[in-house]
Amino acid sequence: MTIRFDGRVAIVTGAGGGLGRQHALALGKRGAKVVVNDFGGARDGTGGSAGPAEQVADEIRAAGGEAIAAVCSVTDEAGVAEMVQATMDKWGRVDILVNNAGVLRDKTFAKMTVEDFRFVLDVHLMGAVICSKAVWEIMRAQNYGRIAMTTSSSGLYGNFGQANYGAAKMGLVGLMQTLAIEGAKYDIRVNSLAPTAATRMTEDLGGGLDLDALRPDLVTPGLLHLVSEAAPTRAILCAGAGGFEAAHVTLTQGIYADGAHAAEQVAADWAEVQDSDGQITPDSGAAQGILEMTKAAKAKQGA
């Protein structure tokens, strides 16, 4: 099976370099018409330039593909609306959205300002919300859509000095979960990609990294699957150095505790609360309540 995107239109945010550039180039190579979005700012979100987006669009066109550049911040609702309208005016549809734009303002939580926390959330999380909202009705109307969020192991598992980044990245997983549920009847599939790659976003992680093994292009094959015709939905795909793994938000079977000493029972049975035997990946948040009510009912029947 060859994954192709002929006739499809893709918007890739943060596509002026790193992972976004590789995603845009690969989509263009496989037949997609690509909107290369990038604000052209520094890693911390300052500055701005049309150069990066224009350069990647030129690369796609030079390779025989179709592409346009869109220079706006994903936090700029009017700019995003203009980008989507320009896409519709030129190609008449939007099939794929890759929410990849991001910034870093790393510091320990003790030293981090609320402004730095809010700015990172605005770009990563609200930027994805703004872009997804801008294409949502288009995808619903055409009964087809593929949206990819760029999450991170920093959100899934935590990372020192990245409270703002981790919170934003885990927020994207929550956004994915609900959009996938609401988009299912319209064949809108929503997934998350957690990449490990050597880009300017990760250049401070240490000089001992094998930069060739962590090339961004080794992550992109996973992205291509997540936005393809045969894409899954609600998947969290981890990718890096040619490795691909799945992450899951699961729910254990846990215990039932009630009465005056319930807190002590939870403490005493903590290992059972955490026991992964029989854990599930819920279809929706309601699964937790259903599981808990079922345990309560069984406990009352047995009393």
Q: Please list the active-site residues.
A: 165
Cβ atoms of 261 and 217 within 8 Å: the answer is no
**CA pair distance 195, 216, nearest whole angstrom:** 8
Closest CA to 290 of 277, 302, 280: 280
6 alpha-carbon distance from chain centroid = 24
In the DSSP assignment, the letter for residue 98 is: E
Cβ atoms of 154 and 162 within 8 Å: the answer is yes
Cβ atoms of 4 and 65 within 8 Å: the answer is no
Q: How many Cβ atoms are within 10 Å of 252's Cβ, its own excluded? A: 15
Instruction: Supply angle C-alpha 143, 149, 150, rounded to 5.
Output: 155
In the chain, which ranges are E strands? 9-12, 33-37, 66-70, 96-99, 145-150, 188-196, 236-240, 243-247
Cα torsion for 129, 214, 32, 226, to the nearest 10°? -60
The CA–CA distances, whole Å, from 299 to 222, 254, 264, 273 equal 45, 13, 18, 16
The residues near 140 (Cβ < 8 Å, ≥ 6 apart) are: 183, 186, 188
Q: How many Cβ atoms are within 10 Å of 270's Cβ, its own excluded? A: 11
In the DSSP assignment, the letter for residue 123 is: I
